[in-house]
Amino acid sequence: MARTISTKLAVEGEAQYKQAIAACNQQLSTLKSQLALTESEFRGQANSMEALRAKGQALQGMYDQQVSKIEQIKKALENCEKAQQEYARRVAEAEDNIYAYETSLERLKNTAGDTTEEQKKLEEGLSQWKRELAEATAGQEAAERGAQNWQRQLNYAGVELNELSDRIQQNSQYLEEAENSADGCADSIDEYGKATKDAGDASEEFGEESV
């Protein structure tokens, strides 16, 4: 029966990376709540310069923290990939030695005289390398599972970073509108942060002109 071990046991440093990323997630949660508070404080004036500047700062804080999270995930992924390589080396070494010991035992069968002692040593060596192979294989599989998990997390974290980037860019456009307007408010959104009809019409006109 194949042996199964956890990635935490198979990959050195895995627990520390998980702790670091959990801390990033906690910080992101705090920053998201800060954004929600900011939006609540400026309810009814979401298109004002003050509101848009405050929202932009909150979004930038989330973006920066997401970048830190991605950096930690990349380190965790690299750590698992290094562990995979080391386990692969151990598997190959164990397989080579198992072949050598089995070949020696087969050859011993055709040797004249008392080979009991030599056979015992070879069988013990073979057993040791078989245990090493089982351990290295289990470690390799655990490291591979860990690498796949970190890669999924990295992909999703990248999606979230892209979405934050889009939100920052959109907020910056609204802020620029507010800074250039007579009343200090963006025209593309109303006081509740909803897109205005004029903004929708402008978008449609742009689309028609682009055809």
List, run by run, the mean pLDDT of 10-residue segments along the chain (211 residues). Answer: 66 93 97 96 94 96 98 96 95 97 91 87 96 94 95 98 98 94 91 76 47 41
Q: What is the pLDDT of residue 7?
A: 76
Q: What is the pLDDT of residue 198?
A: 59
Q: What is the pLDDT of residue 8?
A: 67
| Cβ atoms 63, 164 nearer than 8 A | yes
For 144: left if phi > 0, alpha if psi spans -120 to 50, otherwise beta; the answer is alpha
C-alpha torsion angle, residues 26, 27, 32, 33 (rounded to 10): 80
C-alpha of 3 from chain center: 27
Answer positive or negative: Cα dihedral of 152, 154, 160, 165. negative
pLDDT recorded at residue 16: 93
Provide the pLDDT for residue 111: 83
